[in-house]
Structure 1
């Protein structure tokens, strides 16, 4: 085992946050998930990311209070979202061990190990692989993360800490993107090697038509764009709801620009769909309350501004050529590229794995695909897919509380963030693990904060109002 400098930093930060309390620990944990290319520890060919290490400190801080432990267990009760996620974890763990052995040689798989040569198209006969264990551990960490976020979000103070952590994540995501572009421009990429030390294949120096592919704190452009989609959905919805709009509005705009300029096909494909999600949200909110001015403005101004932008692009040949060439390079022509053909073949093999195992799957972590739905079907089959759908339905279900409150607006923002992450995973989801950021947002969406007398700091999210209704005081 090799301990990395960023691992030492994570441990020291964790100890410091424990001294400050649960709020500081949960905020730091949310921000730590940004280090997608970093390894706190190296265990052979496996990497332990700083955020997964930090989960231990969150657990210690959260379970100091028995009430938090009770709430975390409660979300695992029958019919609760944590129950269905736990079913997915249990079935995934069992399938990871038994399926590759029961169905050995019954199908051809693209193993996760092919990530060492991601475009090689290498295939092997179905059998146990090392990623069966690592993916099981990751999915178990997702369950622990979700349960603890729901428990922490049960109080207004914890709910606020999660929101502040996500806004801080958006800030640092922009900072690392700028650092990535700046260090590349001046030839000082080594400055960021301390957060690019995991056992992954990195593409931090790739360019497309002379444009630097933005990777930020992630191994590649598609990973950066995919996670930024979630933050764009969250901050964009927060702005529509006029919650911390002086921060969330600029971060949503900058995040969207970074997604488009990242040169990621995933980002360019998903960005218009995410915009439609936000526009539908604005439609549902506009005109119903005095604080819906942002939503109303978006609904009224978007169609004419979109039409005007389209006319400018069509009438100005230079602009049209630039836009068309960019879209053609990343989307239209990409469909016939060797990369797209290879990734398409991964999905074909994945669907064949689903058929060859009679719908049970080849086992969690066994096969690589290029789309999250295909990853579910090929790895954990029909049972695992149903468990995930039941989890999503229960976690994102509206609460039995008045709508348009402060808490309901934040839950809506978290749901939209998850939806945007899922849109990105449709075209670039190699595994069943959606990442800790997804389950932080899902946990926030499933949280039901109750008044605990800690309301004053929470109200700074909007700048005044009733703690539960959000109405002007």
Structure 2
């Protein structure tokens, strides 16, 4: 086990916050660690060069801060575990199956391993695309199980912290700052390509992930601190949806508005298929919600969005007039990253990987072959193939519990900041799951999904909070007494009392 310089910095910060920091500060430390998606805090040579990312390493300190004796978080952790019971069912069943499944069905089906390598026996590219190996237990079953347990702990931590108003504010503002930094670093990675600044950014891409080429026909693809553009876009679309929903619902607009704007600009310029698909799906959801439900889109927010769209049209028109060649190249790039993607060899390979999940589900009669047993390209088919019917049912119920489709606050902004923030988390979690169903290589929904669903369950509990009525109070006119009633009121009281006994 080797500690990287990022891990060393995290040890110093984590221990400092553990000894002298609040639980909200420790949670902010965990949230900031999600920015380093291409980094490694610890490298594990004994597990085939696998690595522990910074967010998982920060989770160790978060768990210690929650569970240390005397911290007074026992009751809150218990409530968080009960609220996330369906996610716990999915993960615990998957963790057990990760060790049993590959041995139970060893050699019965062929799969593409999570960390397969190109070998000399591949005589053609097509042979490599459809290359498989007999199912067997591997180190990836262990590492994926560790990631799954980390996902559950992250959801519990988010629930505990966001159950309090201070934690909610820290959550929103920290992610606004993190989203802003993520977008700005993305632009910096493009502008500083080939300069010493790019060398500094490359120091943070020390994870055991394939560092892909980030250029296409002269266009530098935006990757930031991530190993590839799709990972950068996946993280960006998740938190863009959350921050945009918060801004639309007037939750800390001074923080969430600028961050959402920068993230939207970065996603549009990222040239990543994940970004364009995610933005398209979310735009359709917002448009449909606004048309079907009165009040779902505040009028002033709609005007700002329309103005931003008009400004973008004017900008694109100006570019078409001033630099038609650049626009043609950009259009070709956009077509290559979207329309042509499904017809390319890469798209064919991803389709085959996604099909493996359904094949494993059918071949095991709905049991599953265990997380980490094969490489997928869809969260939905990975969940089916890895955890079977039990895991898929638990995941669906957990998502419905977090989204709460029957709550009015899910669709219409509420003056209650907790309800509005929880609804923003719910929409971001749904978009995250949809995007992951088109690109995720594993059945682990990830820390972003865990943070969003854990916070959503905390901010909008099953039993709504009883809040005092702050609406207008109807004042009754003064009582007018007739002469007879006035005379009666002056009579002496009866000898017995009508007041209840003490």
TM-score bracket, normalised by the shorter chain, equals 0.7 to 0.9
Alignment of 1:230 with 2:241, yes or no, is no
Alignment correspondent of 1:40: 41
Q: Kindly report the root-mean-square deviation, in angstroms, between the aligned alpha carbons of the 2 structures.
A: 3.2
C-alpha distance in structure 2 between counterparts of 1:125 and 1:443, whole Å: 37
Alignment correspondent of 2:173: 164
Q: Would the aligned equivalents of 1:283 and 1:299 in 2 still touch at CA under 8 Å? A: no
C-alpha distance in structure 2 between counterparts of 1:307 and 1:183, whole Å: 27
TM-aligned CA deviation for residue 253 of structure 1: 2.1
C-alpha distance in structure 2 between counterparts of 1:448 and 1:418, whole Å: 14
Out of 403, 423, 445, the position equivalent to 2:434 is 423
Out of 339, 342, 350, the position equivalent to 1:332 is 339
Alignment correspondent of 2:349: 342
Give the alignment of 1:53-452 within 5 angstroms.
53-63=57-67, 67-77=72-82, 80=83, 82-114=84-116, 120-121=128-129, 122-186=131-195, 188-203=197-212, 205-280=213-288, 282=290, 287=295, 292-297=298-303, 321=328, 324-397=331-404, 403-448=414-459
Secondary structure in structure 2 of the residue aligned to 1:444: helix
C-alpha distance in structure 2 between counterparts of 1:210 and 1:303, whole Å: 27
Secondary structure in structure 2 of the residue aligned to 1:39: coil
Q: Would the aligned equivalents of 1:100 and 1:126 in 2 still touch at CA under 8 Å? A: yes
C-alpha distance in structure 2 between counterparts of 1:170 and 1:115, whole Å: 34
Q: 1:198 to 1:468 in 2, by over 3 A?
A: farther
Secondary structure in structure 2 of the residue aligned to 1:447: helix
TM-aligned CA deviation for residue 372 of structure 1: 1.0
TM-aligned CA deviation for residue 139 of structure 1: 0.5
Q: Would the aligned equivalents of 1:242 and 1:294 in 2 still touch at CA under 8 Å? A: no
C-alpha distance in structure 2 between counterparts of 1:288 and 1:178, whole Å: 32
C-alpha distance in structure 2 between counterparts of 1:288 and 1:356, whole Å: 45
Secondary structure in structure 2 of the residue aligned to 1:432: coil
TM-aligned CA deviation for residue 162 of structure 1: 1.4
C-alpha distance in structure 2 between counterparts of 1:330 and 1:470, whole Å: 51
Unaligned runs of 5+ residues in structure 1 are 451-466
Q: Would the aligned equivalents of 2:357 and 2:383 in 1 still touch at CA under 8 Å? A: no
Q: 1:401 to 1:72 in 2, by over 3 A?
A: farther
Q: Would the aligned equivalents of 2:421 and 2:459 in 1 still touch at CA under 8 Å? A: no
- Measured against aligned partners, the alpha-carbon deviations of 1:379-407 in whole angstroms (never above 9, x if no partner) come to 11111111111111112227989844111
C-alpha distance in structure 2 between counterparts of 1:68 and 1:376, whole Å: 32
Q: 1:188 to 1:75 in 2, by over 3 A?
A: closer
TM-aligned CA deviation for residue 439 of structure 1: 0.9
C-alpha distance in structure 2 between counterparts of 1:169 and 1:396, whole Å: 24
C-alpha distance in structure 2 between counterparts of 1:5 and 1:43, whole Å: 15
Secondary structure in structure 2 of the residue aligned to 1:184: coil
In the alignment of these two chains, the number of paired residues is 449
Give the structure-2-normalised TM-score.
Answer: 0.81
Larger Rg: 2
Secondary structure in structure 1 of the residue aligned to 2:64: helix
Q: 1:207 to 1:470 in 2, by over 3 A?
A: farther
Q: 1:348 to 1:299 in 2, by over 3 A?
A: same
Secondary structure in structure 2 of the residue aligned to 1:412: helix
TM-aligned CA deviation for residue 189 of structure 1: 2.7
Q: 1:236 to 1:308 in 2, by over 3 A?
A: same
TM-aligned CA deviation for residue 198 of structure 1: 1.2
Q: Would the aligned equivalents of 1:101 and 1:127 in 2 still touch at CA under 8 Å? A: yes
Unaligned runs of 5+ residues in structure 2 are 120-124, 462-466, 473-502
Secondary structure in structure 2 of the residue aligned to 1:114: coil
Alignment correspondent of 1:24: 25
Secondary structure in structure 2 of the residue aligned to 1:226: helix
TM-aligned CA deviation for residue 170 of structure 1: 0.6
